[in-house]
Amino acid sequence: MADFPPLKNDLIIRAARGEQTERAPVWIMRQAGRYLPEFRKVREDHEFFEICRTPALATEITLQPIRRFTGLVDASIIFCDILVVPQAMGMEVLMAPGPVFPDPLNTPADIAKLATHVDVQKELGYVFEAITMTRRGLQGEVPLIGFCGAPWTLFAYMVEGGGSKFFVKSKTWLFKYPEESKALIMRIADICVEYLIGQVKAGAQLLQVFDSWAGELSPDHFATFSLPSLKHIAAGVRAGLDAAQVPQVPLILFAKGANHALASLAADAGYDTLGLDWCIEPAEARKLVGDKVALQGNVDPNVLYGGREAIEREVKRTCASFTGGKPTKGWIANLGHGITPGVDPEDLRFFFECIHKYSATAN
């Protein structure tokens, strides 16, 4: 592994491991993105996936929110997309402006169109290069998070051919072709394992798995189709890092909409931290998971449109619910999903300031 500048702010790493911290570390899902004018400027001249594939551009964009919010944001996340994994498996994906797969998997016969063997280093080496370059660029200011999409979420995109409202095609697969669906989901999981291990070797200091469409599944379907692949990823990454004698990093799982599964995920899914959407009270989530995991989240992203008074009120309430009046422990502050393009970056700055203020008062 490369030699990197020493880390100056390890708040998020300590919180992800369940430790007490002076205040809650904070970062925002999609913090490098369309709400930032400096991001839109780079996008004027470059295609979305061109940026992902060009380490210097991916590094520049990853660093944009860190520069703008110096001292306020406690982690960076590598600029990329979850859909680079289906691309690595041989599928074409366009961004127009949302993701589009011109040739989706309509029936199990289409699985034959996927690459039989995926050389992760060859197909996704550009992400590893971007991670190494970003680690250097960060100069130890904050840790760098690597990520991938969860196999069920990626499967849904590969079958639907893009985003979806009713998930008709992917649900049809689960009901009509359950064995083929499970096999494909586990095949995606194997690639995720290798991809995440490569990200840590390249310099990622935490990893997050995004199961953005977990909430589209019934509890039974989540347990049958998604959970086994999520466990496979956590166990596979940990075993792979041990085998390569690379130190372990905290693993975060964000299974959006799967709050019904919080207790079982905490018990034995293998993740250090569980991300919460805004549809559960933090105190209730803490009761469900006990002390087994750290929690991340969970302010409704739309509060950032509600003005300063609403932002302060919501942050204060959320802090109280996470800490229960005790010292802040095992909590990473975040929104309950990604920040959206219309937000004024100065309102996000105020959100960060409120988190700093109210998560420290309990100490």
Q: Of the listed pieces 81-89, 119-127, 175-183, 236-244, which binds ligand 1CP according to CB under 6 A?
A: 81-89
SS3 63: helix
Of residues 133 and 323, the one with the C-beta less far from ligand 1CP: 133
* Residue 69 within binding range of ligand 1CP, rule CB under 6 A: no
Of 55 and 328, which has the nearer Cβ to ligand 1CP?
55
Per DSSP, the residues of 84-153 read HHHHHTT---EESSSEE-SS---SGGGGGGS-SS--HHHHHHHHHHHHHHHHHHHTTSS-EEEEEE-HHH
Residue 347's region, left for phi above 0, alpha for psi from -120 to 50, else beta, is: alpha
Environment class of 348 (CB within 10 Å of its CB; exposed 0-12, middle 13-18, buried 19+): buried
- Site residues for ligand 1CP, 295-354, by CB under 6 A, read 337-338
Shortest Å distance, C-beta 58 to ligand 1CP: 9
Q: Is 29 in the site for ligand 1CP (CB under 6 A)?
A: yes
The active-site residue, picked from 53, 135, 157, 358, is 157
Size of the site for ligand 1CP (CB under 6 A): 23
Q: What residues numbered 128-157 form the site for ligand 1CP, per CB under 6 A?
A: 147
Which range of residues in 90-98, 113-121, 123-131, 223-231 is near ligand 1CP by CB under 6 A? Answer: 90-98
157 catalytically annotated: yes
Out of 58, 63, 69, 79, the residue judged to bind ligand 1CP by CB under 6 A: 79
The residue with tokens 């959970």 is 227
Q: How far apart are the first and last CA of the chain?
A: 37
Among 17, 46, 48, 302, binds ligand 1CP (CB under 6 A): 48
Shortest-Cβ-distance residue relative to ligand 1CP: 163
Backbone angles phi, psi at 124, to 5 degrees: -120, 15
For the record, the structure tokens of 188 come out as 């995606």
Please report how close the Cβ of residue 111 comes to ligand 1CP at its closest, in angstroms: 22
Nearest CB to ligand 1CP, comparing residues 98 and 325: 98
Comparing CB distances to ligand 1CP, the nearer of 13 and 73 is: 73
Inter-residue contact 18 to 329 (CB < 8 Å): yes
Choose, from 17, 34, 238, 349, the residue flagged as catalytic: 34
Between 167 and 313, name the residue whose CB sits nearer to ligand 1CP: 167
**Which letter, b or e, does each residue of 79-110 get, where b requires 16 or more Cβ atoms within 10 Å of its Cβ?**
bbbbbbbbbbbebebeeeeebebeebbeeeee
Indicate if 30 belongs to the active site.
Answer: yes
The question of whether 34 is a catalytic residue gets the answer yes
Euclidean distance between CA atoms 58 and 159, whole angstroms: 28
Distance CA 267, CA 214 (A): 18
81 a catalytic residue: yes
Measured from the CB atom, is 108 or 164 closer to ligand 1CP? 164
Angle between helices 55-68 and 120-138 (to 10 degrees): 40
Smallest distance from ligand 1CP to CB 197, Å: 18
What six digits make up the tokens of 127? 């992400």
Examine residue 82 and tell whether it contacts ligand 1CP (CB under 6 A): yes
Span near ligand 1CP by CB under 6 A; candidates 96-104, 175-183, 190-198, 287-295 = 96-104
Give which of 33, 32, 23 is closest to 72, Cα–Cα. Answer: 23
Site string for ligand 1CP, 195-214 (x = CB under 6 A): ---------------x-x--
Helix (H, G, I), strand (E, B) or coil at 343: coil
Give the catalytic positions in this structure: 30, 34, 43, 81, 157
Binding site for ligand 1CP (CB under 6 A): 29-34, 43, 48, 77, 79, 81-83, 95, 97-99, 147, 163, 210, 212, 337-338
